[in-house]
Structure 1
Amino acid sequence: MKTTVIKFGIYGLIFAIVIFLGALYFGQELSYSTQEVLGYTSMIVSLIFVFFGIKHFRDRENEGRVNFGKALIIGLLISLITAVGFGIADYIYTTAINPNFFEEYEIAMRNQGYKGEIPEFTSGLAALLMFATVTILGLIISIISALILQKK
């Protein structure tokens, strides 16, 4: 189980960093709402390794069987590793690639007519929020994958 989690978690982590930074770098001219859609899409695509990790464990390491609980644990662990990748990518983006991101985002929101209060973020807080978001999505994908792949 440990080997599967590490292997597929690292696949998700690498994919997360590459796709996240790539989408942000190449999508700089896109609106923030389009970038947000691309961001969530990249999270979901990166978390596909949860499904494949559970399937690999079931078919190749556990004689074709895995119960829901074990599948859920494997999926969550893979999700956590992938979430670390997104947190790192977010931190790199907001500190090195575009350190003015938060100011630019606030200006864009105001230009779109948003009149409410916009909370101030730091790079560390934004990375933590990204980690939490990917972990929650990973939990959902882990539950769905565990339900689909469980075999007793």
Structure 2
Amino acid sequence: MKRNVLLFGLIIGVILCANMVIMVNMMYSDTDFKGNDVVGYAAMIILFSLIFFGVKNHRDKQLGGHISFGNAFKMGSLIALVGSTLYVVVWLFYYYLFVPDFIDVYTDHVLTTCSPEDLQAKTVQMANFKEMYKNPLFVILITYSEVLPIGLVVALVSALLLKRKPKGSLA
């Protein structure tokens, strides 16, 4: 199980990190950059679908084709946690070492793309966010919240789809 958790978690994490670096660089290099949250989250769902294949691989090759919902969810959650943790660690290094002005750039981007009637509220919201982002613990929590919930939902769905009791088992 450990091998599959690490392998699939690291694959997910590396691709998540590459995507993050590309998107941040696009935002820095293109002042008209308009990210698409729907596309971004859809890509994460597709990427986290590797959890399904990690759990299925473990079920079929190590467990003789049988796995409980609990064990499948546990394994899927661990894969999501490994991938998300790699994402968080890379973001911390990338943010503090290479793009320490990211919040300023991001704030400018948000404020230039919001509607005039939302500008005042968005300005206050971004000022609060910028203040909270000075705390590394907040940076870690907000970064995990970007990806881990998606991974956990995919782990849940994967566990529901992959659970399989041995024939003749009542449990």
| Structure 1 length-normalised TM | 0.84
Pairing partner for 1:115 from 106, 111, 120? 120
Q: Spell out the pairing of 1:15-94 with structure 2 (5 A cutoff).
A: 15-26=15-26, 28=28, 29=30, 33-34=34-35, 36-37=37-38, 39-94=40-95
Q: How many residues are matched? A: 152
CA contact 2:14–2:87 (8 Å) conserved in 1: no
CA distance in 1: counterparts of 2:55 and 2:77, whole angstroms: 10
| Residues 1:98 and 1:45: Cα distance change in structure 2 (over 3 Å) | farther
Deviates more, 1:61-70 or 1:126-135: 126-135
| Residues 1:11 and 1:110: Cα distance change in structure 2 (over 3 Å) | closer
1:7 — aligned with what?
7
CA distance in 2: counterparts of 1:39 and 1:130, whole angstroms: 15
Unmatched tracts of structure 2, length 5 or more: 166-171
Percent of counterpart pairs with the same letter?
24
1:151 — aligned with what?
164
Q: CA deviation at 1:104?
A: 1.6
Instruction: Specify the structure having the higher radius of gyration (Cα).
Output: 2
CA distance in 2: counterparts of 1:98 and 1:41, whole angstroms: 26
| Residues 1:17 and 1:79: Cα distance change in structure 2 (over 3 Å) | same
Two-structure CA RMSD over aligned residues (Å): 2.3
1:134 — aligned with what?
147
| Structure 2 length-normalised TM | 0.76
Deviates more, 1:61-70 or 1:131-140: 131-140
2:168 — aligned with what?
none
CA distance in 1: counterparts of 2:94 and 2:162, whole angstroms: 36
| Residues 1:105 and 1:26: Cα distance change in structure 2 (over 3 Å) | closer
CA distance in 2: counterparts of 1:76 and 1:122, whole angstroms: 29
Q: CA deviation at 1:138?
A: 1.2
SS in 2 for 1:34: coil
